Structures are given as C-alpha cells and as structure tokens.
Amino acid sequence: MKLLISVINSEEAINAIKGGTDIIDIKNPKEGSLGANFPWVIKSISEEVDALAKNVEISATIGDAPYKPGTMALAALGCTTAGVDYVKVGLFGTSTETQAIEVMKAVSKAVKDYDSDVKVVCAGYSDAYRIKSVPPSTIPNIALASEADIAMLDTGVKDGKSLLEFMSIEQLAEFTSHCHEHGLLAALAGSLKEEHIIRLLPLQPDVIGVRSVVCTSFDRLRGKLDPKKVEDLINLMKNG
C-alpha cells in the first residue's frame, strides 16, 4: 500500500519526501478537485524529486476533465513528457460511461504511445451525483475498457465531506475487489482524515491519496504541508 501526497510546488514536494511519502502527486487545487498544474511546474518538481529521492514516484493530474477526448489526450501527452510515472484524469465532465471511455481511451493511447511504462489513472468521484458525472461504481469498467492501469475514487466537491460520507465501507470494498479481480490497481482519496484511513486499511487499496490531512489547519488551499504529519500518516498506515 502506497501513500500519495498531493503537492502544488517544490517546497511541498520536498516536505512530503522528508515525511517518507511513496508518491508525489502534482496538482493545482485552485483549479478543482483534480486541478492541473502548469507543465513547467510539473517538469521542475519531477527533476527535483528525481535528484533527491529516486525511489519516490511522480504523479500529475491533467484536471477535472470535460468531455473533450482530443483536448485531454493532448494534455496527457504534455504531462507524460514532463517526466511523470502516473498521469491522472478526473472524469468530471463525462455524464455517460460511453463518454468516459472515449476520453480515457484517448488519454491512454496518447500516454502509452509515448511511454508504455507510464501508468494511467482513471479517477471518478464518490459524490458523482453532485456534479452529474459517471457513477463511481462504473470506474473500474471504464478503466478496463480504456486500458488504464489504476481506478481511483475521490470527491468532486471539496467542501470538507469525505469519501466515506458518500460511499459505505461495503461499497468501497466491492470497488477495491473488482479492481483487483481484473488486474487493476485501486486508489482511494477524498478529504480523508486519519480516522477514515484506519477504516480503509483492511480493504487493502494499492494507493491512499491525501492532501488536507497533512496540511496545517487541514486547509488544502492555504495550509502548509507538514512533513511530520506525513511521517505520522506513514506510521499509521504501517501499524494501523
């Protein structure tokens, strides 16, 4: 099980590394749940992380995606060239499974044609009904149909409500099992606090993603990423 910490700049990336994270996830929270950062920022952070800790992987999101397969494919290619290990897409603007598969197929092709080792993350939202997106239960099927590598759940509206306020442990267990049965990695995120993570550990997701819980005042936008909070979370995941 790996810990993914979302960061917005090099300073935060360094703090996450100091805390012992497995994956640095580069995003821009000002642009949404899975808001995309700038390519030069992704490239700069990737180079710094590679110089500091070659065992730490790099993820970057290309945004809360609209139903525009060509646009998202181009964004995915740009992200891939910046030196990442994972390209993450949030299926925000897709209202049907068919639309979501079309977007994700375009993204997977763009990424894999450039570098077959880079993993594609198909991310949906546990609160999909609030944003009129595809239901979270469809995400593993969409990932499979589009040859993505990881199926992920997050929250689309960042108002402090967590993943577990929209899906039960039983539903999340089914999601994780479905992924593993079909050769997908499973990732869970969405305003998770320590008490939520303790409940998720028995499900054995491959990745747990966080940001606010390792920031001061639990503030994903204005808080500072605290390496001690990252270290404490790592210990919790190992011993919880």
Read off the amino acid at residue 221: L
Please give the structure tokens belonging to residue 185: 């990695």
> Tell me, what DSSP letter sits at residue 183?
T
- For 193, counting Cβ atoms within 10 Å of its Cβ (0-12 exposed, 13-18 middle, 19+ buried), the class is middle
Q: What's the number of domains the chain is made of?
A: 1
Q: Which residues 6+ apart lie within 8 Å of 190 measured at CB? A: 126, 153, 154, 155, 162, 163, 166
Quick one: pLDDT at residue 219? 79
Quick one: pLDDT at residue 122? 98
With 0.85 as the threshold, say if the pTM is over it. yes
CA gap 104, 123 in Å, rounded? 10
Quick one: pLDDT at residue 230? 96
Closest CA to 157 of 130, 121, 188, 122: 130
Range of the domain at 123: 2-239
Quick one: pLDDT at residue 31? 92
Decide: 38 and 45 in contact? Cβ < 8 Å: no
For residue 79, the domain's CATH number is: 3.20.20.380
> Tell me, what DSSP letter sits at residue 50?
H
> Tell me, what DSSP letter sits at residue 30?
G
pLDDT one digit per residue (tens) for the chain, 240 residues? 999 999 999 999 999 999 999 999 999 988 988 999 999 999 999 999 999 998 999 999 999 999 999 999 999 999 999 999 999 999 999 999 999 999 999 999 999 999 999 999 999 999 999 999 999 999 999 999 999 999 999 999 999 899 999 999 999 999 999 999 999 999 999 999 999 999 999 999 999 999 999 998 787 877 889 999 999 999 999 886
Residue 19 Ramachandran class (φ > 0 left, ψ -120 to 50 alpha, else beta): alpha
CA gap 35, 61 in Å, rounded? 7
Q: Which residue numbers are catalytic?
A: 27, 88
